[in-house]
Amino acid sequence: MVPGTAGGGDPGGSEATAVGTLIHELARRASAGEVGPEGLRAAFDEAWAALPAGPAWRQDARRERAWSMVQAWSGWDADRPRDQLVGVEVPFRCDLTVELPDGRPETVTLRGVVDRLELVDDTLVVVDYKTGRKATAGQVQTLGQLGVYQLAVRAGAFDELIGAAVHRPGKALAVYLDAGEGAARAATLVQPSLDDVPVPDGIDVGSAPDWASAAVAEAARIVRDEDFVARRGSHCRGCPFATDCPPRGARR
């Protein structure tokens, strides 16, 4: 999935988004056979040159760091069996009925684009490329984005693409392309299949069948009740509203 967009006026977020989009697009083209390994650098340089003219951020170090991520992806991709690849940049949309914490049923629409989809041992494996800071293995266990992709698998969102009903999610993968260790090597963190670990230790899901459904239900409740409370966290990094944010302001 293309990294989330940052608000306007946040140069750091815009830069990261532009670079992330470029890397995802190169990965898509390479996976589709539009660019071979030998042409990857030229395609990267061409795409980089087409980025909007910017100030100092388009420096050599930034470009080479982005290229390092492309190389990391290429190395990771080379190790994946080609015959299990189903698609790249796969859009999906499906409905899911969840039970709100107070027992009300709510039908929500899940919609997104999966970076890569693989068919492995009669399960669908969703893969998300990450160009931002690496999360911890514990954080990925309940990474909502991957959880929603798994729910989409269960809901049959990819049946038409595959031409068969494969509703069992395999392990979901978060592939970090900037492992931060100076090497062009990807780090893969694994989220267990919802079928194998529906409720991780220490997580209260109430009456929900699994942690991802519980998270979707809570998101639906927040929207339904218009209960938008700003909560500080790692997601605040680079937030363009930080200056006026009540919880952050209260900290000062």
Binding ligand SF4 by CB under 6 A: which of 51, 94, 113, 245? Answer: 245
Residue type, 252: R
Binding segment toward ligand SF4, per CB under 6 A, in 10-18, 114-122, 184-192, 234-242: 234-242
8 Å CB contact between 106 and 214: no
- Least distance to ligand SF4 from the beta carbon of 226, Å? 16
- Between CA 95 and CA 87 the distance in angstroms is 21
Q: By CB under 6 A, is residue 135 in contact with ligand SF4?
A: no
Q: By CB under 6 A, is residue 236 in contact with ligand SF4?
A: yes
Q: By CB under 6 A, is residue 43 in contact with ligand SF4?
A: no
8 Å CB contact between 174 and 189: yes
Binding ligand SF4 by CB under 6 A: which of 82, 231, 251, 252? Answer: 231
Residue 74 structure tokens? 């290429």
Q: By CB under 6 A, is residue 242 in contact with ligand SF4?
A: yes
Q: By CB under 6 A, is residue 232 in contact with ligand SF4?
A: yes
**Residues that contact ligand SF4, how many (by CB under 6 A):** 11
Picking from 6, 2, 1, the residue whose alpha carbon sits closest to that of residue 235 is 6
Collapse the DSSP code of 172 into the 3-class scheme (helix H, G, I; strand E, B; otherwise coil) and give the result. Answer: strand
Binding ligand SF4 by CB under 6 A: which of 82, 235, 251, 252? Answer: 235
- Least distance to ligand SF4 from the beta carbon of 136, Å? 20
The answer to whether the Cα torsion of 239, 241, 244, 245 is positive or negative is negative
Give 209 or 238: the residue with its C-beta nearer to ligand SF4: 238
Q: By CB under 6 A, is residue 248 in contact with ligand SF4?
A: yes
Cβ-based neighbours of 130, under 8 Å, separated by 6 or more: 3, 174, 175, 176, 177, 178
Element (H, E) at 125: strand 123-130
Residue ranges binding ligand SF4 (CB under 6 A): 230-232, 235-236, 239, 241-242, 245, 247-248
